Structure 1
């Protein structure tokens, strides 16, 4: 891989961006940018959908350099700053699974490509019309890459520890919440405690003469913190309003990672 400073070793999948008011999101992408990052870490899967000019699902990434990331998070380019939430992914591994740079073309070229070239090539295209008289469309700053799928395929990229270099988050020391809520865990524990008297009675009825019940312990260990395996020990950078700051590692898993 080239070591040119303008070609970063990682790509970013931002889980939020400034959106048009009428833009609709798929069911799996509901909530805000933080919610979407949590869903990805919990499920271990990055999902795609159709987007502008595509007729089949794609997963999008950005080849922004470190300085460009700061600009996008601080002031943005067109519709305002990007929310500081996203996955930082290994460029070489994305290439290995088929991700490639988007093709920036005119509307005329786009029509020709749709007629003459394979669907996946068409779905890598982004309209580039910087002339306002032609209905200005200029998204070059995103330096977009796409992983394209067929119309009958499920656009789902498994997130592995080798693929994920880290996460961008909105605050220092951030941790994704447990998959199972504390309320649900507490309810389970309460139910178990209520069962103890009947457990003790059953033990007494079935124990040899002269034996006794000493102590019963109840553990809720793995109920309250369970993340996908890829969320274990991720590097983390938090946005302090002006820069991305290293924040060590995150998401040590209680009870072992879920594969």
Structure 2
């Protein structure tokens, strides 16, 4: 059976946003789902962003109350995103994906469900839900405005299309995911690269390389002093 072709979403209204942010960390003391391996939990948010950019994929994990791995995002217009970073203390490291791209990849908004509604759902749908409850067992995460993308249980990763990430959010305007790669090239007497066999002397040089997702995206920086999201000049 042929998979359905995703349709186009309507334009985002003033309370919505065309881009959804995948944060690379959680604010303290927010709990992390126990399905996240300890090695990843121990990483700093910028280290997680580094891995995502170089691997070209986001790893998904089963959220609380579910066995279905998901990649989680937040639909946060700029003023709401500023509030998450300043008041709710979310670490300012993440990727923003187009809302349409998230939908095309099988994603959608979560269901904030009361406990009695959750009990009516089959296990295979629990990954789409967030428990909504007040009182002793309080669970109120409406401010996260969450979307999720399901990923396969056997290989719970979301490969990112080359044009999927229009913006990257960082907490340091000078940060970049560089890696030193050593390789041998032939150079002539002036230091210009030439083809092997031509006049020149091979030598080892260190070449700075950057992942495509980084070079193709705008970069935003959260300035804690100004309490503003600023665009980093290219």
Taking structure 2 as the reference length, what is the TM-score of the superposition? 0.80
Which 5+ residue runs of structure 1 have no aligned equivalent? 193-213, 250-259
State the number of aligned residues. 208
- Partners of 1:226 and 1:237 in 2: CA distance: 21
Question: Among residues 206, 217, 230, which one is paired with 2:213 in the alignment?
Answer: 230
- Partners of 1:141 and 1:150 in 2: CA distance: 27
Query: Hey, which of these two has a bigger chunk of helix by percent?
Result: 1
Name the CA shift for 1:88/1:160 in 2 (closer, same or farther; >3 Å). Answer: same
CA RMSD in angstroms, aligned pairs only: 2.4
Aligned-partner SS, 2:106: coil
Question: Among residues 75, 85, 98, which one is paired with 1:90 in the alignment?
Answer: 98
Moved over 6 A (4+): none
Name the CA shift for 1:33/1:102 in 2 (closer, same or farther; >3 Å). Answer: same
Structure-1 residue corresponding to 2:228 = 243
Instruction: Check whether the contact 2:60–2:71 (CA below 8 A) recurs between aligned residues.
Output: yes
- Partners of 2:115 and 2:156 in 1: CA distance: 26
- Could you say which structure has the larger radius of gyration? 1
- Partners of 2:128 and 2:215 in 1: CA distance: 32
Query: Hey, which of these two has a bigger chunk of strand by percent?
Result: 2
- Partners of 1:215 and 1:99 in 2: CA distance: 54
Instruction: Check whether the contact 1:29–1:36 (CA below 8 A) recurs between aligned residues.
Output: no
Structure-1 residue corresponding to 2:135 = 132
Query: Offset of 1:21 from its aligned partner?
Result: 7.7
Instruction: Check whether the contact 1:30–1:36 (CA below 8 A) recurs between aligned residues.
Output: no
- Partners of 1:141 and 1:44 in 2: CA distance: 28
Does residue 162 (structure 1) correspond to residue 170 (structure 2)? The answer is no
